[in-house]
Amino acid sequence: MRMPEKSDLPVILILGFLGITGYHVPLVFGEVTVTAGAASLLIASGPIFTALLATLFLGERLKSGGGWGLG
């Protein structure tokens, strides 16, 4: 993989900022409106949704260990 061009850096920084902000702001608002147990379940389920979205949209394959881990 090659390094990005200098002209790509502003777009990368903007998308990185928006991606992190777009995740954390709704997450914090969601966490303050639910109980601590529900908030911890919300945080703990992040890797599950990441794996499922990667399978659906990026064509990633889950091996048997990944399936057991999701379960």
Predicted pLDDT of residue 58: 92
Q: Which residue type sits at 61?
A: R
pTM for the whole thing? 0.56
Distance in angstroms (rounded) separating the CA atoms of residues 67 and 51: 10
10: its two tokens: 């502003």
Residues 56-69: pLDDT tens digits? 999 888 888 887 88
Percentage above 70 pLDDT, the chain: 100
pLDDT over threshold 80, residue 2: yes
Q: Quick: pLDDT tens for 7-36.
A: 999 999 999 999 999 988 988 888 888 898
Angle at 20 between CA 46 and CA 67, to 5 degrees: 20
Residue among 19, 43, 45 at smallest CA distance from 31: 43
Give the pLDDT confidence score for residue 65 in this predicted structure.
82
- Report the alpha-carbon angle 66-59-11, nearest 5: 110
